[in-house]
């Protein structure tokens, strides 16, 4: 018998809702260490008592999907250094100063999400690209301002307020 095993929330839900779906080792470990996980097991037993659903597999799968889907992912700006031939840039004098569009990219360490913020003269648009096609509802928090946005449809950008500095973006 192992002294310590990595037990996740999903394992505890399975232990209460559908113990047959757990591996033999995890089932034995949880049976032997119920006192260690008493709070979590009691919580799940309370959920089970409230559901009154006979199809345990269905409710277990729904709960497991909810647990998996609730993660907070941090995205940081990707900085690309411009190439300079000789380190000197000269600008010609111009009567009209034309404001150009600007863009900034943010990615997470695993490259599962990409956010592209495009700023034009009239608006700031945020595009979110995700590797996970099953999820459609994203909550974004831009830091340091902590401004929050909701994205329901990844096929269209959302318009956001212009921010001078964005250190990171959290997705949940």
Tokens, residue 98:
């034309």
27-52 as b/e: b if 16+ CB within 10 A: bebbeebeeebeebbeebeeebeeee
CA dist list (Å): 12 to 2, 6, 7, 28, 37: 17, 11, 7, 12, 8
Orientation of helix 38-51 relative to helix 9-17, angle to 10°: 50
pTM of the model: 0.51
What is the chain's length? 172
Q: How many Å apart are CA 137 and CA 17, to the nearest integer?
A: 27
Q: What pLDDT score was predicted for residue 1?
A: 45
> What is the pLDDT, as a whole number, of residue 4?
73
- List the chain residues with pLDDT less than 50: 1-2
* Interval 45-88: pLDDT, tens: 888 777 665 555 666 666 666 665 566 777 788 876 555 555 55
pLDDT at 160: 92
């Amino acid at each position: 018998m192992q002294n310590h095993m990595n037990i996740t929330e999903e394992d505890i839900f399975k232990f209460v809702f559908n113990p047959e779906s757990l591996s033999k080792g995890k089932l034995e470990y949880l049976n032997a260490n119920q006192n260690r996980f008493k709070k979590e097991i009691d919580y799940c037993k309370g959920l089970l008592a409230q559901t009154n659903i006979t199809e345990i597999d269905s409710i277990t799968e729904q709960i497991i999907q909810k647990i998996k889907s609730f993660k907070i992912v941090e995205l940081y700006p990707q900085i690309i250094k411009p190439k300079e031939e000789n380190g000197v840039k000269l600008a010609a004098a111009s009567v009209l100063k034309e404001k150009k569009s600007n863009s900034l990219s943010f990615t997470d360490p695993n490259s599962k999400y990409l956010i592209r913020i495009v700023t034009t003269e009239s608006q700031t648009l945020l595009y979110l690209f995700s590797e996970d096609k099953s999820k459609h509802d994203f909550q974004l928090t831009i830091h340091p301002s902590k401004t929050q946005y909701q994205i329901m449809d990844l096929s269209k950008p959302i318009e956001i307020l212009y921010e001078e500095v964005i250190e990171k973006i959290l997705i949940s």
